[in-house]
Structure 1
């Protein structure tokens, strides 16, 4: 086939596209466009969005500025396409062709789109770089490129339409930028913040940027795809109509003119109508993220399948809220609607603005204790305080749970003035709340059926003559409610009303010493004093009931909450052994684990356990030892016998613990009391520390020698005593660590397992291959005149086990030994006679465990400490929850509750970059600059070769 035959067989639109592409590369236009696109994109990625400072392994910075950047680049690319045709007079040649005009329009559009795709191809080294550095989720990457092509196509079609109406390229540039910018601003917070959520949501559907963000996060929705395609169809149709009108000899209304206008109107009407119709559909979407983090998990479907009664999910969202919270409202609404779809008719969803519905606001305040949160909002004109709602109510039967904005959002600080506010893990939070109310309801209609012990309600109340009138009325309300609850409790609920001032005030003195109850007063200047304290107790634990608005509803709500504190059956109980929270968080040697206790307490009943009596509480489902120290024989016996009963023991322990303060960092020896017991069961923790070259940056005190003076200050340094465990160091097949992503195990020691151990051993955590061991007690980095002194391992370079599970049958450490309880009581009763009637303890030791027993061991005392978690979060400029998550996952797996465990780690900030020094960061940044330059050079070389080839073809044609 001859070359000219090949040209003729092409579709006219493709021939026009090829011509435009040739013209682009015959002038500096293409190279200016490609170079500008690459330069601005790379600058925004590495500088504007501070990729390395963000410390997140994603390419979000690549697409962050794309909706705004494409406005000007696409307008620049299209401004001359039709304007120059009109100005130079070649438009008449196009209009007189027998080929339909839409072929020319489509050809120019495809030529521009090809150049845009070529520009995006130059940026591909960026995601490849991120994938080499960290654990990149490629789903949002491909979705982001798709969104960029679609958005660019929409802008190109607008630019072509504007260019067809003008013969001045500068006017086309300005007009196209204004038109594209108007569509972008429709969904931008600058405009949407001026309206309520409903109007803002509709404007967001019209804005090009809102749908772009939805796709780039990894959710490809048919509604978003059709929106961009409909935009392209509408403006290309308008472009064709503008050119067709140039063909009309007269401006009189003729049938052909009316037909063109009718067809154009129908195309626009159908595009808008289809968008409105598709807007009602929510199931036509594809979640391309790894693990489908934006789709409801199997665990959520499992809990929804258990529903026997209608479940209510009601969102309380104010029409005007803080600008950083406003974009999160549509995301919450979309997610909650997914629950409605997955519920199959068993889930009812409501969204209300309490400020517009006073009766519903009153119900929210009184029945559910939902109150607005004041936010300070500032704009160009004024600064004001706005009381706003951002709550979700989960109600099932007579059970309910409320989530506030503090439960739902996560804040990452890029700088002091730049905060990134995201939904933390909304599916986990909603599903956890559903699980809680579902299990509470399934426990039975009678709340007292879930309480094993007898409860006593005690009112420390003064006589009525000393009480103000509102409290006298409230006392009668309390009496009526308590009589109702007593009838339901079947003898397990006792009510007492005591006057503290009776009998000379003996009771008043005792409750002041035991509980801190002091006389109340209605007026500081008044001499009247009275008591009005309400408590619940089971003999071991006491709960004080708060006084809210002195209503029956409020009292019932607080009483129910108090009773549930003593309930069991639907919430698992974890017996926690950890240092008491009485230390200062910055004191030397101080160790607090309040965050761990609070984190576990969202799903579990966590109770502090005292092992000194030689036993673990009977209602404990699991025993957790965190940084145990100096456990005596009786405490060790309690741990041993709990394991022998088939329980699970989770231990976070090591021979060392760090003492970190504002001016010092030191290492101290720790005698946990578990060493021999663990060795008996085949687990040995070596008295050394792991130093890993793959480590996390951490703020530590550094000593500098300045003119003979020792100066200490805080520096963010790569610290080898903080192994940074990632995919290779986390067991990817075990549920505890499979979805974790990253974990920093502070000041950890290696674990060795007896090779002849008959039990099933699962290694959970490993250091990197280059990690070594050190016995050096000096763990503080030292900065000398030559720089930071190296901290290197002294021996055993290789991979070390840092976390392990041992399952199976265990032999008791106290087998063939007398019970420590018996020995203690013998000493106590040594002075008693044989004929004494004192009780004699029984020497009972369970000698072996069933196969269900487990030991889960983490070789660090400090990775769950409040101070370490806080400092790790400061280093990452956000919350650091990986340590707490692995602890919670271990508990859920042990209690066979894998539902929430499967979605707990699906948060936004889990994929972090590995620690990189400045030299490495600079290397990768400049490598991308170099690759972009090489790509531009390759394109220029290819264009030149193509031009020469085409010249040879034309010379051959002329020769023929």
Structure 2
């Protein structure tokens, strides 16, 4: 009888063939990777690939992770593995332009000293003996340094964006150029209305430390191509040539951040007692229309839910100011790199922006008000001394308003021809993709809305209480780089929570809380009854429980036992539901798949036997 495929020698041949096949595949396809995760977590985006392609000289990355110290922290270890594997993916794609070094900074080691020198954040562990490091340091050929102090699992959505921006800064050492066009004194100036020199705004100071700032006049008819980002802040006196310069700069691929305001409270009038100058809404309207949006600077958004309180003009406590908004994290788009991780943004007399129906641009809201909002004419906020009358007039229109937005997409020029004759540069009529951010408030950049500055022995100490400056720095950081940085978005999360289990737990806990509230209500009701019964007693029997009180107390004690039993039943049912679900999941993952495979194998075997019998019968 001939040897079958399942003989000892046949199995040996299969095993050798399997090993040879694996070896051959590893040699031929060693660099090939397949990402089957739901959100393609291990696939580097095209934007990050563009960043890696821009590297001219090698970049050194040092991934610090306390491997030994984190043995009892499985969640941290899992996330550290996620970060390490992503960094290894960067190293492979960079093809020699990134040198990744893995470092375990053990206590009292040179590696721990190196982590401290880089400025990485160490988290003391509960045992009091070890420190947890989970950060990234990078250097380039001219010894520039960049760090991510600590990889927070809660920021996993922006893991790739943070790493790519860090690599970009190391690979591109030239300081970006930031053009500033404004009628406000954000850079400081002689301000005789205040009796001396006006200091630069703190937000401007922070920009000047990171960027080469170039001042641009509001009547400038051309903006240089080497400007990486144009920052336009309340250009009250802008001329038509200035508008044309902005139009053409954007069409040439220039990035624009525009801060405009219905009432710029920091734009002080030339004569005290006069209202502040306002920006004519019609001046910028042609640009807005060409970009596919309408920006309303004639009205101010009032948000009752997020309105801030200020001191009354004549004392006597605080009063809500509808023109001042403190928008929380829930009002800020956490999916955009520009606005991610911002906790609070304070605004003053802000307008709003909406997309047009026929827009060719993609409109992304960055910051929005609550639906408990309404609109006031901006004249109500000019020289406003007492905000209390506005409260009496407030009537929410059940609509939220976008106060900051991002625009991308194809547009046409707002101008048919240059407003100035004899220009040598080419007039552009359209562009395939623009990058514009519009914020309908300019006071958001002023010190009074986000930072407290104190003089400490001749040195200015800034204490932020809102994230206004972080918003500006995020805009500058994201938009002043290459187009690749602008394309970075939040990604999926590695953690896979048990949604069904969590839903069961929340449902049961909600029932549990309702039962607890019922018990508390019965307690309160009993106390009221006891007080009423006590009043009916004689003064001499005030400290003695009468029969009615004793019966009422006994009745309540019985009810209390019943409610406690119900609470236990709810908790037990919760545990049972979760255990039952866990059993089902275990069965599906452990037993169901093998059972299905066995059934398939049985049917295949039966089919083969049937064919073999048919073949034998035919012979």
Alignment of 1:279-290 (within 5 A): 280-282=68-70, 284-286=72-74
Deviation of the 1:748 alpha carbon: 0.6
Q: CA deviation at 1:804?
A: 2.6
The residue number in structure 2 matching 1:887 is 472
- 2:179 is matched with which residue? 575
Alignment-derived partner of residue 66 in structure 1: none
What is the 5 A alignment of 1:381-392? none
- Matched ranges for 1:351-500 at <5 A: 396-401=140-145, 442=171
| Offset, 1:584 | 7.6
How far residue 628 of structure 1 moved from its aligned partner, in angstroms, is 2.4
Query: Residues 810-861 of structure 1: CA distance to partner in whole angstroms, max 9, x if unpaired?
Result: 221222x244263xxxxxxxxxxxxxxxxxx436311111x22133211112
Deviation, 1:942, is 7.0
1:853 aligns with 2:462: no
The Cα shift of 1:650 comes to 1.7
**Aligned residue for 1:934?**
520
Pick from 424, 430, 443: which aligns with 1:862? 443
SS class of match (1:805): strand
Residue equivalent to 2:293: 683
Report the equivalent of 1:670. 279
- Measured in 2, the distance between the counterparts of 1:948 and 1:751 equals 56
1:283-298 matched pairs, under 5 angstroms: 284-286=72-74
Please say if residues 675 and 685 of structure 1, whose CA atoms lie closer than 8 Å, have aligned partners that are also in contact.
yes
CA–CA distance in 2 between the matches of 1:774 and 1:674? 21
Q: Distance in 1 between matches of 2:198 and 2:421?
A: 30
CA offsets per residue over residues 302-331 of structure 1, 9 Å max, x none?
77886326599875899xxxxxx9x97748
Report the CA distance shift for 1:280/1:659 in structure 2 as closer, same or farther (over 3 A).
closer
1:813 lines up with 2:423 in the alignment: no
- Residues 858 and 328 of structure 1: CA distance in aligned 2, closer, same or farther (over 3 Å): same
Q: Please state how far the C-alpha of 1:688 moved relative to its aligned partner.
A: 0.8
Q: 1:859 to 1:605 in 2, by over 3 A?
A: same
Aligned counterparts of 2:279 and 2:370: Cα–Cα separation in 1:
26
TM-score normalised by structure 2 residue count: 0.51
Mapped to 2, the partners of 1:902 and 1:844 lie a distance apart of: 38
- Distance, in Å, in 1 between the alignment partners of 2:204 and 2:341 is 22
Partner of 1:693: 304
8 Å Cα contact 1:613-1:634 kept in structure 2? yes
| Conserved? CA contact 2:181–2:215, under 8 Å | yes
Structure 1 residue runs without a partner (length 5+): 1-277, 319-324, 341-346, 348-393, 410-422, 444-566, 705-712, 823-840, 904-926, 950-960
* 1:654, distance to aligned residue in structure 2 (A): 2.1
Equivalent residues in 2 for 1:714-793, closer than 5 Å:
717-726=319-328, 729-731=331-333, 733-775=335-377, 777-779=379-381, 790=391, 792-793=393-394
Q: 2:243 aligns with which of 636, 657, 674?
A: 636
Counterpart in the other structure of 1:703: 313
Q: For the residues of structure 2 that align with 1:652 and 1:441, how far apart are their CA atoms? A: 30
Q: Distance in 2 between matches of 1:297 and 1:937?
A: 56
Taking structure 1 as reference, are residues 683 and 584 closer, same or farther at Cα in structure 2, changes over 3 Å only? farther
Aligned residues: 408
CA distance 1:698–1:896, change in 2 (3 Å) = farther
**Aligned mates of 1:666, 1:648 — CA distance in 2:** 33
In structure 2, distance between residues paired with 1:665 and 1:941? 74
Q: Cα offset for 1:878?
A: 5.8
Match of 2:42 in 1: none
Structure 2 residue matching 1:669: 3-state secondary structure: coil
Contact 1:654 1:685 in 2 (8 A): no
Query: SS where residue 799 of structure 1 aligns?
Result: coil
Distance 1:432 1:893, change over 3 A: closer
Counterpart selection for 2:254 from 614, 633, 647: 647
> Matches of 2:113 and 2:192 in 1, distance apart?
40
Give 1:63-78 correspondences, 5 Å limit.
none
Q: Give the alignment's TM-score, normalised by structure 1.
A: 0.35
Contact persistence 1:690–1:749 (CA under 8 A): yes
Distance 1:601 1:335 in 2: 36
User: Once the two structures are superposed, what CA deviation does each residue of 1:62-97 show, in whole Å capped at 9, x if it has no partner?
Assistant: xxxxxxxxxxxxxxxxxxxxxxxxxxxxxxxxxxxx
Distance 1:724 1:436, change over 3 A: closer
Question: Would you say the 8 A contact 1:781–1:788 is kept in 2?
Answer: no
**Pairwise CA distance, 1:645:** 0.9
Out of 74, 79, 99, the position equivalent to 1:308 is 99
Let me know the Cα RMSD of the aligned residues: 5.7
Q: Is the 8 A contact 1:760 1:806 kept in 2?
A: yes
- Verify the 8 A CA contact 1:746 1:863 in the aligned structure 2: yes
Going from structure 1 to structure 2, the CA distance change for 1:750 and 1:626 (only over 3 Å counts) comes to same
- Structure 2 counterparts to residues 866-877 of structure 1, below 5 A: 866-870=447-451
2:485 pairs with 1:897: yes
Q: Take 1:575 and 1:758, find their aligned partners in 2: how far apart are those partners?
A: 27
RCO comparison, higher one (Cα < 8 Å, 6+): 2
The alpha carbon displacement at 1:641 in A equals 0.7
Structure 2 counterparts to residues 50-65 of structure 1, below 5 A: none
Deviations 1:588-637 (A, max 9, x none): 79997643334446665554445644222322222221232211222222
Deviations 1:875-922 (A, max 9, x none): xx962342233333344554442799869xxxxxxxxxxxxxxxxxxx
- Deviations along 1:506-530, whole A, 9 cap, x unmatched? xxxxxxxxxxxxxxxxxxxxxxxxx
Answer whether contact 2:371 2:396 (CA < 8 A) is retained. no
Q: State the structure with more CA Rg.
A: 1
Q: Which residue of 1 aligns with 2:227?
A: 620
In structure 2, the CA distance between the partners of 1:758 and 1:330, relative to structure 1 (3 Å rule), is same
Structure 1 distance, partners of 2:561, 2:335, is 53
Gaps of 5+ in 2: 1-65, 104-110, 455-461, 492-512, 525-555, 567-619
Instruction: Give the whole-Å Cα distance in 1 for the aligned partners of 2:251 and 2:329.
Output: 34
- Secondary structure at 1:888's aligned position in 2? helix
Q: Note if contact 1:653-1:860 (Cα within 8 Å) is conserved in structure 2.
A: yes
Aligned to 2:22: none
- Cα distance in 2 between the residues matched to 1:281 and 1:715: 53
